[in-house]
Amino acid sequence: DTAVSQTPKYLVTQMGNDKSIKCEQNLGHDTMYWYKQDSKKFLKIMFSYNNKELIINETVPNRFSPKSPDKAHLNLHINSLELGDSAVYFCASSQDWAGGTGELFFGEGSRLTVL
Amino acid sequence: GNSVTQMEGPVTLSEEAFLTINCTYTATGYPSLFWYVQYPGEGLQLLLKATKADDKGSNKGFEATYRKETTSFHLEKGSVQVSDSAVYFCDDNTDKLIFGTGTRLQVFP
């Protein structure tokens, strides 16, 4: 069983559309994250949830809205897609937050291409 | 912001060459230190970690020693393979906000 799974793996869509990416972890972790990786491989956090509560919300346009229905799921909804949203989005989870000894577990990524 | 600094890539090596990718940290206290690897088309995965000073993490022939005196956690491998070509990220686990660009390693036959 995949520990952190996200769908879809590839997403090609037109500017202005709304799309969602789903993420699920079966590790029993308390904390989940969404990261964005650009074409230069720069990886930066967008959101983090701990036990369904938002704990990090970086400077991300409010077109991006995360939703955590339970602590095993963290979905990402994007409204009014723009060309600059094209990137690979990674979901991750960890048992604890900063300062812990636990590692991050990443999904395989969802490559979003906005035309 | 990012509290680790790692060398910029790309690092280009021939197969069987010795690899060092430098990483230094600035966090106070005694953070756990990690190296993650991202193979093409995949997400990051943990390569190795060390949780206290003088610990050595090792996996797949890679090693890194947690050195408090130099605040470093350099990644080394004695003989790289083409299959090691990937992007490597150093992390101190105190700040999950930014992983940066990592260091791209390209190994040629």
**pLDDT digit of tens for each residue in chain A (115 aa)?**
679 999 999 999 999 999 999 999 999 998 999 999 998 888 888 988 888 888 877 778 899 999 999 989 999 999 999 999 999 999 999 987 654 567 889 999 999 999 9
Q: What is the pLDDT of residue B96?
A: 64
Specify the pLDDT at position A51. Answer: 84
Q: Which of B31, B38, B98 sits opposite A44 (nearest CB)?
A: B98
CB contact under 8 A, A98 and B99: no
**A103 chain-B contacts, CB cut-off 8 A:** 34, 46, 49, 93
d(Cα A39, Cα A25) in Å, to the nearest integer? 26
User: Quick one: pLDDT at residue B8?
Assistant: 87
Query: How far is residue A18's CA from residue A82's CA, in Å, rounded to a whole number?
Result: 10
CB contacts of A107 in chain B (<8 Å) are 43
Q: Of A17, A8, A13, A22, nearest to A78 (Cα)?
A: A17
Q: Which residues pair with A74 in a beta bridge?
A: none
CA-based nearest residue to A81, from A105, A56, A63, A101: A63
Quote the pLDDT of residue B1: 45
Is pLDDT above 60 for B73? Answer: yes
Distance from CA of residue A15 to its chain's centroid?
A: 20
Lowest-pLDDT choice from A58-62, B48-52, B77-81, B88-92: A58-62
Greater model confidence, B67 or B97: B67
How many angstroms separate the CA atoms of A17 and A101, rounded? Answer: 40
Nearest to B96 among A104, A108, A109 (CB): A104
Pairwise CA distance, residues A18 & A78, whole Å: 6
Give residue A1's pLDDT. 67
Q: Does B89 touch chain A (CB under 8 A)?
A: yes
Cβ(B36)–Cβ(B89) below 8 Å: yes
Instruction: Decide if B87 and A45 are in contact by the 8 Å CB cutoff.
Output: no
Beta strands in A8-104 (DSSP E): 10-13, 19-25, 31-37, 43-50, 53-57, 64-70, 73-78, 87-94
Average pLDDT over residues B9-24: 96
Place of tokens 């812990």: A100
Q: Is-cis flag, bond preceding B40, omega within 30? A: no
Rounded mean pLDDT, B13-26: 95
Q: For residue B21, how many other CB atoms are within 10 A of its CB?
A: 23
Nearest to A107 among B43, B46, B49 (CB): B43
For A23-47, b/e burial (b = at least 16 CB within 10 A) is: bbbeeebbbbbbbbbeeebebbbbb
Cross-chain residue pair A43–B46, CB shorter than 8 Å: no
Q: How many other β-carbons are positioned within 10 Å of the β-carbon of residue A79?
A: 13
Give the span between the Cα atoms of A75 and A111, in whole angstroms: 15
pLDDT for the residue numbered A98: 56
